[in-house]
Structure 1
Amino acid sequence: MDQLSAGVPVAIHLETHIKQDQDVSDYSLDVDGQLVQVGTNMYLRYLEPNQETGEQVPVTMKFTPNGEIHLTRNAEAELRLHFVSGKRVTARYQTPYGVMPIETVTPYLEADFKERPFSGNIKIDYLLYAGEQLVGNYKIRLHFTA
C-alpha cells in the first residue's frame, strides 16, 4: 500500500437511497476518483455532477483507523457529515446564509478494504437530523477498485 501515499486512480460506483417523509429517491453514479493515504487516514476523492446545475462538486470521504468516516461535499453549500457506528454526532452544513447545525445517527456502518486488487466496499445507513427534526433516512453503498 506504499503507492497510496502518492495516490491511486480508482473506479467508483456509488448508490444512494434517500427517504424524506413519504418521498423516496435512488441515485447512482459511476465516476473515476483517487485514493490517497495521508498518515493513518485514507481519503477517497472524486467529482460528482450537481444534478441541478451540472457543475462538478468535489467530494471527499475520509476513513480513519478507528472506523469513523467523514464525508465532505464542497458545493455552494458545504456539507460535512461524520459517521460513527451506533452514535449520534454533530455534522455541519454551511450555507450561503450561515451554518445550519445538523446531526447524523449511524445505525449501520461497514468499511471493507481488500489488497489484491485494491478495492473497497462502504455501506452507511444514517439518519439526518436538523435539531430534533428528522430530515431523512439515507443509505450509501459505495464500491471502488484500483
Structure 2
Amino acid sequence: MENNSFDINVQLNIETLQSGELTHTKISEPGKFTQIGNSIYLRFNESLENNDKASILVKITEKGEIHVKRVAKSTNLASLLYFTHQEHNTGHLETEYGVLPLDTYTKDSKVEIVSNPLSGKINIDYDLIYDNNVIGNYKFRLIFGA
C-alpha cells in the first residue's frame, strides 16, 4: 500500500447563499496531502475567533466521491458531508444537542490533481438540505499546491 505525504498550501473559498443573503469564507492555511492506496486526503485547519481552530479533512475516493469533515471542538460542532456528482447524499451535523441529518445534492463537482509539481483543484457546487428543504446553496473552491 502506497503512503505518500506532502506539505501543501491550501486556499479555500466558499460562497454561501442562504435566505437570499450571500456570504464568502476564505481560508488560506498550510496543510498536508496524503495518498493512501487510491484515496487522497487533504488536512488543514480553519482559523476561528479567539485563536481557536477547526480541523478540516477532505477525502477523495478512487470513485471520485468527495467527503468533507469539519470539527470545531471549541464550538462543539462537527459535520461530515458527502458529495457525488449529480447525486443526493446523506451526511450529518453533530451539535451538543444531538445529531442533525443533513443531505447534499451535488449539482457539479470536479477534481483535478497534477503530480509534478503537486497541485490541484476541487470544485463542488451543492445544495444543503435539512428535512427535505434546501437551506443553502454553496460553491466550494479548494486550490492546493506543494
**TM-score, scaled to structure 1:** 0.93
1:97-121, Cα deviation, whole Å (9 max, x unpaired)? 1110110000100000011111111
Number of the residue aligned with 2:102: 102
Q: CA separation in 2, counterparts of 1:29 and 1:95? A: 23
Q: CA separation in 2, counterparts of 1:133 and 1:117? A: 42
1:63-94, Cα deviation, whole Å (9 max, x unpaired)? 00111000000112110000000001101111
Number of the residue aligned with 1:15: 13
Q: CA separation in 1, counterparts of 2:88 and 2:126? A: 10
Number of the residue aligned with 1:122: 122
Deviation at 1:53, TM superposition (A): 4.4
Q: Per the alignment, do residues 129 and 54 of structure 1 end up closer, same or farther by CA in structure 2, a change over 3 Å counting?
A: farther
Q: CA separation in 2, counterparts of 1:84 and 1:53? A: 35
Note if 1:61 corresponds to 2:58: yes
Is contact 2:4–2:36 with CA below 8 Å preserved after alignment? no
- Residue correspondences, number: 142
Note if 1:134 corresponds to 2:123: no
Q: Per the alignment, do residues 24 and 80 of structure 1 end up closer, same or farther by CA in structure 2, a change over 3 Å counting?
A: same
Deviation at 1:143, TM superposition (A): 0.5
Name the % identity.
31
Number of the residue aligned with 1:28: 26
Number of the residue aligned with 1:88: 88
Deviation at 1:6, TM superposition (A): 4.2
* RMSD after superposition: 1.1
Amino acid at match of 1:138: Y
If each structure's strand is expressed as a fraction of its own residues, which one has the higher value?
Answer: 2
Matched residue of 2:90: which SS?
strand
**TM-score, scaled to structure 2:** 0.93
Gaps in structure 1 of 5+ consecutive residues? none
Deviation beyond 4 Å, 4+ runs, structure 1: none
